[in-house]
Amino acid sequence: MATHDSRELIQDCLRLGISGSSFVYVMPSELVLAAYHGAREGKITCFDKQRNDLMIAFMRDLMNAVNSSEITSMECYHSLAWDSTPILELMLDNPQVEFWSVHAPYGRYYDPSSPNPEAREGALAGYVDSIKVARRLGARVVVAHPGVDIVFDTPREIRVKYAAEILHRAAEIAGEYGVKIGIEPMPKREIGNSLDEVLRIVEMIDLPNVGVTFDTNHLFPPENIPDMIRKVGELIVNVHVSDQDGVERHWMPFDGKLDWHAVLEALVDAKYSGPLIYEIHLKDVRNCRDVCKRVVQNYRQLVLC
């Protein structure tokens, strides 16, 4: 159980954030399929006017829900599928949250570790576009996946090198915009599926604006997460929050096996003072306001654990 002093320290250092991906189960299914299908298949499928209009309407609902809640920070998922200009204008119309981070596109077309040069260049294009979106929103971090869960014959060492080269190019551009790159550990067979491999990629890039997006749902076993946080230390530039049981779950905190007080204490020890970006998948919700309500209720419990 947390002491009064440790609770105050946690509350002073951390704050509540949410990822746009937390709303995936209240997003119109037509948009979900259109946004992700192309990336999985290795191409970009751009929205037509009807889908762009539907996306704008959904984002209006999402922003109204977030702006009227106790959520203070937001991570925006970005795709090249939709027309970002009207969406950015909507988001920047009197926002009541800080735009902390932008999640770059990922998928077969956006794989910096792929032996296919077109996929590597697709990843770079996605990073660059996300960097420009981050600059427009005033966001500090672009989240980047170092690989995709696709099996290749190419030796892993070469694919790590590919990922580091593409991410280095992206980070150089990000530096010109005052943006950091947060490389996210991954949970399956892809490049970056261990903390050591992610840290090695960060070391290979060797630029001051490159760090780690620490995802509590992507590294295992759950009991080792606090020690892993301390190992990354001040390289943590962003945090994704969700629970797990040794497998990627995107559960709400307290639904899995993570010791949340130990996780929060480790983040404070690592001198992280940004938002806890909830990246959870809630299937039993009706709308964006329900998602925000559930996240706020959980966060109130989290900072008192």
DSSP 3-state assignment of 10?
helix
| Cα gap 10→5, rounded to integer Å | 9
Share of the chain above pLDDT 70, in %: 95
pLDDT of 33 reads 83
Angle at the Cα of 179 (from 44 to 272), degrees rounded to 5?
A: 115
- Please give the CATH number for the structural domain made up of 4-302: 3.20.20.150
Give the predicted TM-score (pTM) of the model.
Answer: 0.96
Q: Which residue has the higher pLDDT, 181 or 35?
A: 181
| Residue range 132-156, pLDDT digits in tens | 999 999 999 999 999 999 999 999 9
Amino acid identity at 224: N
Residue 43 has pLDDT above 80, yes or no: no
pLDDT of 108 reads 87
Amino acid identity at 189: R
Give the ranges where the chain is alpha helix by DSSP (H).
Answer: 4-13, 29-41, 49-67, 84-91, 117-137, 156-176, 195-205, 225-232, 260-269, 288-302
Whole-number average pLDDT of the chain: 94
Q: Where are the domains of the chain?
A: 4-302
Mean pLDDT for 187-194 is 97
Mean pLDDT for 158-186 is 98
Q: How confident is the model at residue 38 (pLDDT cuts 50, 70, 90)?
A: low
Amino acid identity at 103: H
Q: How confident is the model at residue 42 (pLDDT cuts 50, 70, 90)?
A: low
| Residue range 2-28, pLDDT digits in tens | 565 667 777 888 999 999 999 999 999
**Closest by CA position to 243, among listed 222, 224, 227, 228:** 222
| Residue range 270-295, pLDDT digits in tens | 999 999 999 999 999 999 999 999 99
pLDDT of 11 reads 81
pLDDT of 6 reads 67
Q: Which residue has the higher pLDDT, 145 or 109?
A: 145
